[in-house]
Amino acid sequence: MDLDRVDEIIDNHRGEASSVIQVMLDIQTEMSWLPREALTRVNERLGVPLSRVRHIATFYKAFSLVPKGRHQVHVCLGTACHVRGAPRVLDTVEELIGLKPGETDLDLKFSLETVNCLGCCALGPVIEIDGKTHGNVSTGKTEDVLSGYE
Amino acid sequence: MSDLRMRIDGREVTATEGMSVLEAARGAGISIPTLCYHEALEPHGGCRLCIVELDFGDWTQLVVSCVYPARADLVVRTRSEKIDRLRRTILELLLAHAPDSEPLRELAEEYGADRNRFEQEASFCIHCGLCVRYCAEVKKKDAIGFIDRGIRKEIAFLPEIAARECEDCKECFPLCPTSYLQAAWVLLDAQAFGA
Amino acid sequence: MTPLRTPEELAAYRQRLADDRPADRPCVSICAGAGCLASGAGEVIAAFETELAARGLEADVDTRGTGCPGFCQRGPVVVLHPEGTCYLQVKPEDVPEIVTSSIQGGQVVTRLLYEDPVTGERAVHENDIPFYRHQERTLLEHNIRIDSRSIDDYLAIGGYSALEKALFDMGPEEVLEEVKKSNIRGRGGAGFPAGRKWEGSRNAKDEPRYVIVNADEGDPGAFMDRALLEGNPHSILEGLIIGGYTIGAREGYVYVRQEYPLAVTNVTLAIRQAEEYGLLGEDILGSGFDFRVMVHKGAGAFVCGESTALMTSLEGRVGEPRPKYVRSNVKGLWGKPTVLNNVETWANVPLIVNRGADWFTGIGTEGSTGTKIFSLVGKIVNTGLVEVPMGMPLKDIIYEIGGGIPGGKKFKAVQTGGPSGGCLPEELLHLEVGFDELTEAGSMMGSGGMIVMDEDNCMVDVARYFIDFLTEESCGKCVPCREGLRQMHRILSNICEGKGREGDIETLEDLSEVAMEASLCALGKSAPNPFLSTLRYFRDEYEAHITEKRCPALSCKALVSYYIDPDKCRGCLICMKKCPSQGIEGVRKQIHVIDQEKCDACGVCFEVCPSRYDAVVKISGEPVPDPLPEEERMIVKVAGDE
Ligand SMILES: Cc1cc2nc3c(=O)[nH]c(=O)nc-3n(C[C@H](O)[C@H](O)[C@H](O)COP(=O)(O)O)c2cc1C
Ligand code: SF4
Ligand code: FES
């Protein structure tokens, strides 16, 4: 756990208490989760009570208090994708990788999340894996898409 | 501070600048039900039970009295068929979580709320936030806080702070309208301090 | 770049840009918006760069990744300048041909042009395509012309001239008057007149004041703000600076959701460029006006789009709304006067300042002036962003621009206004889009999502979907929303699962009343809309679910069954192999039978049964016919069969 890096992030935001969410987002982006020591550091350096840091970390969807898998699978459940059959695609993904939304598997291969619109509704239903968008996924196509990841 | 004169339930009431409608009413001995209000704390406006109606002559507006600022010449109604109906449903929604809470049962009686209207989901906490706010605002210890949001929102102690502060304080315990805080504490005690 | 210190220096710089880029200089614009990138625009851009370099043309022909012009359905979109030739669905393989034929040879590559599905006619230019022809694109028109990361591109098309005009020719009072006169109403939700909001802040005694761009765009199925912010960030900044100047603010914020990384990057870059050019910072263009802008990333909470929650969040706290009995233009961020407007609202400001309020009110209707961008999605031929004058009938948007419903299906409803909007039925397609018109019909403008649904969509399921979304996104602070939505969601789910009971509709109506009347913020207050509007127009669907346990749209999984029509089945084994539950019995050349015990109604068999057989039948609310006894399942070859 690289606390120096956390300090740098805090310094980038000039140590202002109001930037606590921005600081936590930067930590999340960098480490892909919020380790406990990092949060304690944020609490000490910004003077934001731990109770609030904890509430922020659990209130906003971007944060995770557990490490994430190597591959982040995002199934879009935006309205456009929903009316084009996204729930069934989600069912299939859940079955194939054995995870529910919000979960990560034990060997940290996949994390599954649902999202509300990736802005490419023309291609719905859409799955995004590690930032790459796969469009027009049918129940059948899901397996091909997922099998490409190790 | 200038005095503000207003009418609540037909009675002339005097309030001062900075008071809420709720405080003005209570000051005059008019009761409005509340669950998340406490004199010592910043108003929260979460339970919505203190809802009242403002009468502007040709139109009316429902507002929540604990956060609505008292103003001169307001005409306020604290009971009406609609207000009672809203309060009843709010109570019924809360009773699904805390069917045995004493304050809830008393209010349910008054408003004819049916504690079995909605499927029971006993998580007990009704999220009034009294414990959390008391600890933060009055004690300035932040030993207990909220986590998550929406229907998953909960209160939880911060073990490292609670271990230090709570044993000798426990001032928030009597504020809890349900038995949840007690339960959370016992649980924490058992887990963290190895009882 | 040395900062521009006077309007004259800005003019001179603009002139230099014009001299450097003659209008006939060839340029390839490729949409690099989210939709096109997902369809492979990145590879197309790379292909153009390599191809042009390989032929030694890179110095003569510019390549530009641009913002989204809206036609996501046919992405990647490529436009060649100066001719304006528009190619659709371009693949990297097409690039050499485009370079040879069009850029070098001056010919059009016909097969990449838009083809009218009915007449088969080809359209060369953007504006010949019906999708664009019926639009009025005042905000989106520049997206395909400029590189969103280039301030020079923006300046070259006249960018920041409105700021200059506001600072030097108009002054704050006149700008305010013009904005008020334009009657522009907020594009983010409630449709509050922007001029009045600004005036309230300008007149508030307190200092400092703040201006904020709401770019939290959380509506699922909406991406117009994203397209503006990614595609033309300077236009929003320019609007914001003008707003700050008008109300007397010296600080502004852009609150943009972190789920839009490209928007974050582009707007951050735009701020840096504007600072370098002296268009932001101290003493802008020598006017004496100081203004700075900060970017704040939203961490993923729909409720933070709500004005007070957004401000709470900016202050570094959990995004729970606050009571609004004192408006935030008087007491907002840090308790100070704050003007919060939506991305699209800000983007309109430079246009109003430059072209005048009369021009603006000339577009649209009396109650709703200007244009509005909608994101037209769902069961529609042309998915994409469409910008139309307010007052255009829904049916024109859906049929003329959107191209109607694909697959020969029947239109059922259009949902407008985001998750707490409403569903409008066919009878209301003549409705002219406008703030008041949509509200009156039980829906709303919201931020401009427009989701088209066809006969296969169940309206109870749609209501359940939105209530589910809102339950997930409720902040949990107040009881009517948190607990009321929890119960509404449970009841709606039960109805969809065939567990609906007599009295459910009335309970839902009660809960709706409490949420609307007693919730703290507009999320809870408007949350019952999806239920109430579907009940208003599609009550029979609710009743069919509750009393007959039937889903008329054949959509609710728990209420549909599948069976195989013995007269049509040819025993091809396809469905049997695909069924994930091993629920289909069959051997080659024997009629297949679905084991209803094992079937979990996933519908794969229905999807995969070859259309020439079309043997799988989907039903709801009626018993499945008994399967043929085993000895009768042999398929007898009839004459003419294969
Ligand atoms: C739950 C909720 C979410 C909202 N989300 C957004 C949003 O994502 N973007 C937006 O501009 N306005 C959103 N709004 C509306 C804002 O509260 C506010 O009215 C708007 O930003 C004001 O700008 P305008 O007057 O330019 O529309 C939301 C409102 C609510 C209640
Ligand atoms: S209405 Fe919903 S989102 Fe708004 S304050 Fe109440 S619980 Fe939070
Ligand atoms: S006492 Fe007013 S909302 Fe709870």
What is the percent of chain B with per-residue pLDDT over 70, rounded to a whole number? 97
Ligand 2 pocket residue status of C524, Cβ below 6 Å? yes
3-state secondary structure C119-182: CCCEECEHHHCHHHHCCCCCCCCCCCCCECCCHHHHHHCCCCHHHHHHHHHHCHHHHHHHHHHH
Q: Which two tokens stand for residue C522?
A: 């507009």
A60-93 burial string, b = 16+ CB within 10 Å, else e? Answer: bbbbbeeebbebbbbbbbbbbbbbbbbbbbbbbb
Q: If you measure CA to CA, which chain B residue comes closest to C485?
A: B151
As for how many domains chain A has, the answer is 2
User: Domain for residue A65, yes or no?
Assistant: no
Bridge partners (DSSP) listed for residue C257: C298
Both A10 and A77 in a single domain? no
Query: Distance, in angstroms, between C598 CA and closest chain A CA?
Result: 17
pLDDT of residue C117: 84
pLDDT of residue B65: 97
Question: What span, in angstroms and rounded, lies between the C-alpha atoms of C288 and C290?
Answer: 6
Question: Which amino acid appears at position C198 of this protein?
Answer: W
Task: Summarize pLDDT for C88-115 with one digit per residue, the tens.
Answer: 999 999 999 999 999 999 999 999 999 9
Q: Sheet of C85-87: strands edge to edge? A: C62-66, C27-31, C78-81, C85-87
Task: Summarize pLDDT for C416-441 with one digit per residue, the tens.
Answer: 999 989 999 999 999 999 999 999 99
Query: Distance, in angstroms, between C150 CA and closest chain A CA?
Result: 23
Q: Which ligand is nearest to the CA of C435?
A: 1
CATH label of the domain that carries residue A97: 3.40.30.10
C520 closest CB neighbour out of B45, B49, B90: B45
Question: What span, in angstroms and rounded, lies between the C-alpha atoms of C29 and A126?
Answer: 26
Both A50 and A93 in a single domain? no
CB contact under 8 A, A25 and C297: yes
CB contact under 8 A, A51 and B149: no
Is any Cβ of chain B less than 8 angstroms from the Cβ of A144?
no
Q: If you measure CA to CA, which chain A residue comes closest to C578?
A: A140
Q: Which stretches of C290-342 are DSSP H helices? A: 307-314
Neighbours of B19 (CB within 10 A): 18
Both A30 and A54 in a single domain? yes
**Per-domain residue ranges of chain B:** 3-77, 80-122, 130-192
CB contact under 8 A, A50 and B146: no
Q: Which ligand is nearest to the CA of B90?
A: 3
**Which chain B residues have any C-beta within 8 angstroms of a chain C C-beta?**
44-49, 51, 62-64, 67-69, 82, 85-86, 89-90, 93-94, 96-97, 117-119, 126-127, 146, 148-153
C-alpha of residue A68 to centroid of ligand 1, in Å:
31
Is any Cβ of chain A less than 8 angstroms from the Cβ of B136?
yes
A52 closest CB neighbour out of C73, C317, C384: C317
All domains of chain C in start order, with CATH = 19-132 (3.40.30.10), 159-361 (3.40.50.11540), 371-457 (3.10.20.600), 460-547 (1.20.1440.230), 557-632 (3.30.70.20)
What is the percent of chain C with per-residue pLDDT over 90, rounded to a whole number? 83
CB contact under 8 A, A50 and B158: yes
Among B131, B139, B144, B147, pick the best mutation site for testing chain A contact (most A Cβ within 10 A): B147
pLDDT of residue B24: 96
pLDDT of residue C97: 96
Determine the atom of ligand 3 nearest the C-alpha atom of B65. Answer: 2
For residue B1, name the pLDDT band (cuts at 50, 70, 90). Answer: low
Residues B99, B101, B107, B109: is their CA dihedral positive or negative? positive
For residue C642, name the pLDDT band (cuts at 50, 70, 90). Answer: very low
User: Domain for residue A66, yes or no?
Assistant: no
Task: Summarize pLDDT for C289-345 with one digit per residue, the tens.
Answer: 999 999 999 999 999 999 999 999 999 999 999 998 889 999 999 999 999 999 999
Ligand 2 pocket residue status of C528, Cβ below 6 Å? no
Please report the number of interchain residue pairs, chain A to chain B, with beta-carbon separation below 8 angstroms. 31
Question: What span, in angstroms and rounded, lies between the C-alpha atoms of C589 and B90?
Answer: 62
Question: What span, in angstroms and rounded, lies between the C-alpha atoms of C222 and C445?
Answer: 12
pLDDT of residue C232: 95
C469 contact residues in A (CB cutoff 8 A)? 116
Is it the case that residue B193 has pLDDT exceeding 60? no
Q: Which two tokens stand for residue C347?
A: 């983007």
First and final C-alpha spacing in chain B: 54
For residue C637, name the pLDDT band (cuts at 50, 70, 90). Answer: low
* Domain with A138 in it: 71-147
Mutate which of C306, C328, C467 to test ligand 1's pocket (most atoms within 8 Å of Cβ)?
C306
Nearest C-alpha neighbor of C409 from the set C353, C463, C452, C460: C452
Assembly ipTM: 0.95
pLDDT of residue A84: 84
Ligand 1 pocket residue status of C340, Cβ below 6 Å? yes
- The chain-wide mean pLDDT, for chain C, equals 94
A83 closest CB neighbour out of C34, C222, C457: C457
Q: Which ligand is nearest to the CA of C480?
A: 2
Bridge partners (DSSP) listed for residue B162: none
Please identify, among A17, A37, A59, the residue that sits at the C-terminal boundary of a domain.
A59
Question: What span, in angstroms and rounded, lies between the C-alpha atoms of C488 and B137?
Answer: 34
CB contact under 8 A, B90 and C479: yes
The crossing angle, in degrees rounded to 10, of helices C233-247 and C224-231 is 90
Both A83 and A109 in a single domain? yes
Ligand 2 pocket residue status of C481, Cβ below 6 Å? yes
Both A85 and A54 in a single domain? no
CB C292 within 8 Å of CB C284: no
pLDDT of residue C638: 58
Task: Summarize pLDDT for C579-629 with one digit per residue, the tens.
Answer: 888 899 988 889 999 999 999 888 889 988 999 999 999 999 999 999 989
Task: Summarize pLDDT for A28-84 with one digit per residue, the tens.
Answer: 999 989 999 999 999 999 999 999 999 999 999 999 998 888 899 999 988 888 888
Question: What span, in angstroms and rounded, lies between the C-alpha atoms of C72 and C301?
Answer: 26
DSSP string for chain A: --HHHHHHHHHHTTT-GGGHHHHHHHHHHHHSS--HHHHHHHHHHH---HHHHHHHHHHSTT--SSPPPSEEEEEE--HHHHHTTHHHHHHHHHHHHT--TT-B-TTS-EEEEEES--S-GGG-S-EEETTEEE-S--HHHHHHHHHT--
C466 contact residues in A (CB cutoff 8 A)? 79
C479 closest CB neighbour out of B46, B82, B118: B46
Per mean pLDDT, which range of A85-89, C156-160, C502-506 is the poorest? A85-89
pLDDT of residue C149: 93
Task: Summarize pLDDT for B89-100 with one digit per residue, the tens.
Answer: 999 999 999 999
Both A139 and A90 in a single domain? yes
E strands of C534-621, at which residues? 560-564, 584-585, 593-594, 616-620
Both A48 and A87 in a single domain? no
CB C433 within 8 Å of CB C392: yes
Is it the case that residue C641 has pLDDT exceeding 80? no
C-alpha of residue C101 to centroid of ligand 2, in Å:
59
C-alpha of residue C321 to centroid of ligand 2, in Å:
7
C602 contact residues in A (CB cutoff 8 A)? 88, 91, 139
Q: Going by C-beta distance under 8 Å and a sequence separation of 6 or more, which residues neighbour residue C547?
A: C502
Q: Sheet of A132-134: strands edge to edge? A: A110-115, A71-76, A127-129, A132-134
Is any Cβ of chain A less than 8 angstroms from the Cβ of B145?
yes
- The chain-wide mean pLDDT, for chain A, equals 90
Q: Does residue C192 sit in helix, strand or coil?
A: coil
User: Once rounded to an integer, what is the mean pLDDT over residues C51-75?
Assistant: 91
Task: Summarize pLDDT for B99-146 with one digit per residue, the tens.
Answer: 999 999 999 999 999 999 998 887 789 999 999 999 999 999 999 999
CB contact under 8 A, A20 and C316: yes
A22 closest CB neighbour out of C296, C318, C383: C296
Both A89 and A121 in a single domain? yes
B161 contact residues in A (CB cutoff 8 A)? 50-51
User: Once rounded to an integer, what is the mean pLDDT over residues C155-166?
Assistant: 96
C-alpha of residue A55 to centroid of ligand 2, in Å:
16
Both A94 and A132 in a single domain? yes
Nearest C-alpha neighbor of C533 from the set C621, C484, C463: C463
pLDDT of residue C602: 82
Question: What span, in angstroms and rounded, lies between the C-alpha atoms of C104 and C110?
Answer: 16
Ligand 2 pocket residue status of C319, Cβ below 6 Å? no
Query: Distance, in angstroms, between C75 CA and closest chain A CA?
Result: 9
Q: Going by C-beta distance under 8 Å and a sequence separation of 6 or more, which residues neighbour residue C312?
A: C318, C319, C320, C321, C322
Both A80 and A122 in a single domain? yes
Ligand 1 pocket residue status of C342, Cβ below 6 Å? yes
Protein residue closest via CA to atom 5 of ligand 1: C305
Ligand 2 pocket residue status of C298, Cβ below 6 Å? no
Question: What span, in angstroms and rounded, lies between the C-alpha atoms of C204 and C249?
Answer: 12
Q: If you measure CA to CA, which chain A residue comes closest to B156?
A: A51
A59 contact residues in B (CB cutoff 8 A)? 148-149
Spelled out in words, what is the top-level CATH class assigned to the domain B3-77? alpha beta
C296 contact residues in A (CB cutoff 8 A)? 21-22
pLDDT of residue C496: 97
Ligand 1 pocket residue status of C228, Cβ below 6 Å? no
pLDDT of residue B3: 85
Q: If you measure CA to CA, which chain A residue comes closest to C217?
A: A117
Chains with 3 or more CB pairs closer than 8 angstroms to B? A, C
Please identify, among A20, A35, A59, the residue that sits at the C-terminal boundary of a domain.
A59
C-alpha of residue B124 to centroid of ligand 2, in Å:
20
pLDDT of residue A51: 96
Nearest C-alpha neighbor of C312 from the set A20, B155, B18: A20
C511 closest CB neighbour out of B51, B89, B126: B89
User: Domain for residue A64, yes or no?
Assistant: no
User: Once rounded to an integer, what is the mean pLDDT over residues C447-471?
Assistant: 94
Is it the case that residue C640 has pLDDT exceeding 60? no
